[in-house]
Structure 1
Amino acid sequence: MDADVVIAGAGPNGLMLACELRLAGVRPIVLERLPEASEVPRANGLVGQVVRMLDRRGLYERLSGTPGPPQPQPRYMFGAFPLDLSTIEPNPVYMLPVPQRRIEEVLQQRALELGAEIRRGHELIGFAQDTDSVTVEISGPDGPYHVTARYLVGADGGRSLTRKLAGIDFPGITNDTMVSRTANAQVPLEYVDPGTGALSIPGYGVIPGLMHHRTERGLFLYGQLPGRPPVVSTGEFDVPPEGPMTLEELQDSVDRVLGVHLPLTPPDGDGPHLLRRVVGGNSRLADRFREGRVLLVGDAAHVHSAIGGPGLNLGLQDTVNLGWKLAAELQGWAPDGLLDSYESERRPVGQRVVMQTQAQSALIAPGNDVTRLRELFGELLTEPRNVQRIADLITGADICYHDGPHPLIGRWAPDLMVDGTRLAELMRTGRPLLLDLTPEAPFAAGVTSEASYAATVARDRVDVVAGRGESPIALLIRPDGYVAWAAEQDGVAEQDGLRDALARWFGVPQERPLTSATR
Structure 2
Amino acid sequence: MKTYDIIISGAGPVGLFLACELALADCSVLILEKAEDPHSPLKQMPFGIRGLNAPSIEALDRRGLLDQLEVPKRVKNPFGHVGSAQAGHFAGIPFLYGDIDTAQWPHRLPSSTPTNMISEMAETEAVLTRRAQALGVEIRRGVGVTGVEQDDASVTVKAGYSSFQGLWLVGCDGARSVVRKEGGFEFAGTEPEFTGYTVKVDFANPELLNSGRNVTPRGMYFQTQPGYLAIQDFDGGAFHQRGEAVTLAHVQSVLRRISATDITISALHVATTWTDRARQATSYRNGRILLAGDAAHIHSPLGGQGLNLGLGDAMNLGWKLAATIRGDAPDGLLDSYEAERHPLGVRVLDWSRAQVAIMRPGPEASALHAIFRDLIKTRDGATYIAGRVWGITTNSVPNFEIDGVTVQALMRDGLGMLLDFDADPALRSWATSHAVKYVTGSVPDRLGYSALLVRPDGVIAWRDGDGDLAQAAAPWFNVARRAS
1:234-266 deviations in Å (ceiling 9; x for gaps)? 212247599643456445544433334667676
Contact 1:55-1:69 within 8 A present in 2 as well = no
CA shift in 2, pair 1:213/1:427, >3 Å: farther
Residue 14 of structure 1 is matched in structure 2 by: 15
Q: 2:91 aligns with which of 61, 71, 79?
A: 79
Query: 1:371-386, aligned counterparts within 5 Å?
Result: 371-386=366-381
Residue 134 of structure 2 is matched in structure 1 by: 113
Residue 271 of structure 2 is matched in structure 1 by: 275
Contact 1:154-1:297 within 8 A present in 2 as well = yes
Q: 1:319 aligns with which of 314, 319, 329?
A: 314
CA shift in 2, pair 1:331/1:232, >3 Å: same
AA matched with 1:145: S
Q: 1:501 aligns with which of 469, 472, 478?
A: 472
| Partner SS for 1:17 | helix
1:335-380 deviations in Å (ceiling 9; x for gaps)? 1111100000000011111101011111111112211111112222
Instruction: Between the two structures, name the one with larger relative contact order (CA 8 Å, sep ≥ 6).
Output: 2
| Partner SS for 1:468 | coil
The structure with the greater share of residues assigned to helix is 2
CA shift in 2, pair 1:163/1:113, >3 Å: same
Query: Is 2:109 aligned against 1:127?
Result: no
Contact 1:64-1:96 within 8 A present in 2 as well = no
Question: Structure 1 residue 294: deviation in Å?
Answer: 0.9
CA shift in 2, pair 1:68/1:264, >3 Å: closer
Q: 1:170 aligns with which of 163, 184, 187?
A: 187
Query: Is 2:182 aligned against 1:158?
Result: no
Residue 257 of structure 2 is matched in structure 1 by: 256
Residue 47 of structure 1 is matched in structure 2 by: 52
1:85-141 deviations in Å (ceiling 9; x for gaps)? 3222338984443332222221111100111111222232323222222232333xx
Question: Structure 1 residue 170: deviation in Å?
Answer: 0.5
Take 1:89 and 1:475, find their aligned partners in 2: how far apart are those partners? 27
CA shift in 2, pair 1:116/1:251, >3 Å: same
CA shift in 2, pair 1:180/1:467, >3 Å: same
TM-score normalised to the size of structure 2?
Answer: 0.85
| Partner SS for 1:41 | helix
Query: 1:366-515, aligned counterparts within 5 Å?
Result: 366-398=361-393, 408=394, 411-437=395-421, 440-442=422-424, 445-449=425-429, 452-453=430-431, 457=434, 459=435, 461-471=436-446, 472-473=448-449, 474-487=451-464, 497-509=468-480
Query: Is 2:163 aligned against 1:145?
Result: yes
Q: What do you get for the CA RMSD once the two structures are aligned?
A: 3.1
CA shift in 2, pair 1:57/1:261, >3 Å: farther
1:26-65 deviations in Å (ceiling 9; x for gaps)? 1111111222214241442233231232122221221235
Contact 2:71-2:119 within 8 A present in 1 as well = no
Aligned residues: 457
Q: 2:302 aligns with which of 295, 304, 307?
A: 307
Unaligned runs of 5+ in 2: 82-86, 109-113
CA shift in 2, pair 1:436/1:327, >3 Å: same
Residue 402 of structure 1 is matched in structure 2 by: none
Take 1:415 and 1:69, find their aligned partners in 2: how far apart are those partners? 22
AA matched with 1:44: I
| Partner SS for 1:97 | strand
Residue 64 of structure 1 is matched in structure 2 by: 70
CA shift in 2, pair 1:315/1:365, >3 Å: same
AA matched with 1:479: P
Q: Which stretch of structure 1 is more off in the superposition, 312-321 or 385-394? A: 385-394
1:405-441 deviations in Å (ceiling 9; x for gaps)? xxx5xx122232223323222222221132233xx32
Q: Which stretch of structure 1 is more off in the superposition, 246-255 or 24-33? A: 246-255
CA shift in 2, pair 1:69/1:218, >3 Å: closer
Contact 1:60-1:70 within 8 A present in 2 as well = no
Take 1:44 and 1:510, find their aligned partners in 2: how far apart are those partners? 45
Residue 24 of structure 1 is matched in structure 2 by: 25
| Partner SS for 1:343 | helix
Contact 2:400-2:443 within 8 A present in 1 as well = no
Take 1:484 and 1:220, find their aligned partners in 2: how far apart are those partners? 45
CA shift in 2, pair 1:242/1:120, >3 Å: closer
Q: Which stretch of structure 1 is more off in the superposition, 66-75 or 150-159? A: 66-75
Take 2:78 and 2:456, find their aligned partners in 1: how far apart are those partners? 23
Question: Structure 1 residue 509: deviation in Å?
Answer: 5.0
Query: 1:273-352, aligned counterparts within 5 Å?
Result: 274-278=270-274, 280-352=275-347
1:56-79 deviations in Å (ceiling 9; x for gaps)? 222122123565996695410111
Take 2:288 and 2:329, find their aligned partners in 1: how far apart are those partners? 15
Residue 200 of structure 2 is matched in structure 1 by: 184
Contact 2:418-2:431 within 8 A present in 1 as well = no
Contact 2:171-2:180 within 8 A present in 1 as well = yes
Unaligned runs of 5+ in 1: 192-200, 268-272, 399-407, 488-492, 514-519
Q: Report the identity percentage.
A: 35
Query: Is 2:358 aligned against 1:353?
Result: no
Contact 1:436-1:467 within 8 A present in 2 as well = no
CA shift in 2, pair 1:243/1:509, >3 Å: closer
Take 1:376 and 1:468, find their aligned partners in 2: how far apart are those partners? 45
1:424-478 deviations in Å (ceiling 9; x for gaps)? 22222221132233xx322xx43332xx4466x3x0x435243322125232222
AA matched with 2:32: L
Q: Which stretch of structure 1 is more off in the superposition, 109-118 or 123-132? A: 123-132
